[in-house]
Amino acid sequence: MAGPVVSQLFDRADADIVFRSSDNVDFRLHKLILGMASPVFSDMFSLPQPQGEGEQPQVVDVPETASVLENLLPFCYPMARPELLHIDDLQSVLHSTEKYEMTFISNQLLQNLRHFLPTEPLRVYSIACLVEDADLARAAAKVLLGSSPLYDPHNSPPEFDRLRASALAKIDAYRIDCATAARSVVLDYDQLRSGFPPRFVSVSRKGNVDTSNAWIWLACSSCTGGSVEIYVANAATGYRHGQTLTPRAWWSEYSDAVAKELTLRPLASVVTETRFTRPAFDKAAKCATCGPRAAVELMQYAEAVAKKIEDALSKVVFVLPFGQNEVPEEASKPVVAELADRAVEEANQFFAGW
């Protein structure tokens, strides 16, 4: 059978089996090597074999293309392994290793798949769900928080042909839960009073509000106030007396924009993004009171809020859409939370290595 030239090791005279690829390329191989690599092949070869023509080894038609076989077989033979720099190549080989139960290769390929997390998180997530790799699915779900929209319906990943709809539903649910958790941190205006030590608002026994240690957007009364009001009180007067502080408009606009973005991309890093902080700095610079302090204090605030969001997100449980790890709603929360914490910790360690 004529065809493209295959690697030298797949074209030896001492071959005792021929794999014919779906695109008609012959790979002259060895039962002993293939049988050691795959229990499926081992079983196949242990069955009584029809004889090849004359002295010729038996020919087996396989569904893989020559390109997939060229990528798959080096994991079985003593030769350099391909790097599989494209996720399509990796996915095809992984699919074959799963089918032929070549677990030692699958595990290595799943590790390689992690390299595609930053660039192809949805495909990594889809493949992880198809092969039911819990750690990889969780790591991808976390990266997918930064994807908005989640996918382009006109150009969806090829894995969607085989993916269960519940895999996408679980991702949506996780993103919604994370958005709720992240937004609740930003929208908790009451924490502006004393939730960011050493910044605080104090109230005297007589009810006089002291903002000398407060964030500048609470202390300033020169520029325009925003739409939010924060109640302040001391133990003697109580909140019902209605003392309020109004954060300045430039800060409220920043806070609103960040909260809106967190609905789409529930990531801690959103609050420090320049496209939100820069307009706030520019507006604050127009106020003689806010101007000199706004940039430094807003960055301090943003970094502190980012930590709080990170903390809130780490408590959100991603429920796997497959396998024994699938957790029904009524399951014990502590166990679920513990599993998620461990996965997030592992994912963090993983991302730290990038």
Q: In angstroms, rounded to a whole number, what is the distance separating the alpha carbons of residues 212 and 201?
A: 8
Cα angle 163-167-169, degrees, rounded to a multiple of 5: 130
Residue 145 or 223: the one with the smaller Cβ distance to Zn ion is: 223
Q: In angstroms, rounded to a whole number, what is the distance separating the alpha carbons of residues 227 and 233?
A: 20
**Residue 324 beta carbon to Zn ion: minimum distance, rounded to whole angstroms:** 57
**Residue 294 beta carbon to Zn ion: minimum distance, rounded to whole angstroms:** 8
Q: In angstroms, rounded to a whole number, what is the distance separating the alpha carbons of residues 45 and 28?
A: 15
Q: At what angle do helices 121-131 and 134-143 cross, to 10 degrees?
A: 160
User: At 326, which helix (H) or strand (E)?
Assistant: none
Q: In angstroms, rounded to a whole number, what is the distance separating the alpha carbons of residues 242 and 233?
A: 8
Residue 216 or 347: the one with the smaller Cβ distance to Zn ion is: 216
Residue 177 or 253: the one with the smaller Cβ distance to Zn ion is: 253
Residue 264 or 285: the one with the smaller Cβ distance to Zn ion is: 285
**Residue 223 beta carbon to Zn ion: minimum distance, rounded to whole angstroms:** 3
Residue 102 or 223: the one with the smaller Cβ distance to Zn ion is: 223
**Residue 287 beta carbon to Zn ion: minimum distance, rounded to whole angstroms:** 3
Residue 164 or 286: the one with the smaller Cβ distance to Zn ion is: 286
- Residue located via tokens 């005792």: 16
Q: At what angle do helices 333-352 and 291-314 cross, to 10 degrees?
A: 120
**Residue 214 beta carbon to Zn ion: minimum distance, rounded to whole angstroms:** 13
- Name residues whose C-beta falls within 8 Å of residue 258's C-beta, 6 or more positions apart in sequence: 186, 270, 271, 276
**Residue 233 beta carbon to Zn ion: minimum distance, rounded to whole angstroms:** 24
CA nearest to 185, candidates 254, 284, 268: 268
- Residue located via tokens 């595609």: 116
Residue 115 or 293: the one with the smaller Cβ distance to Zn ion is: 293
**Residue 303 beta carbon to Zn ion: minimum distance, rounded to whole angstroms:** 21
Question: Which parts of this chain interact with Zn ion (CB under 5 A)?
Answer: 220, 222-223, 287, 289-290
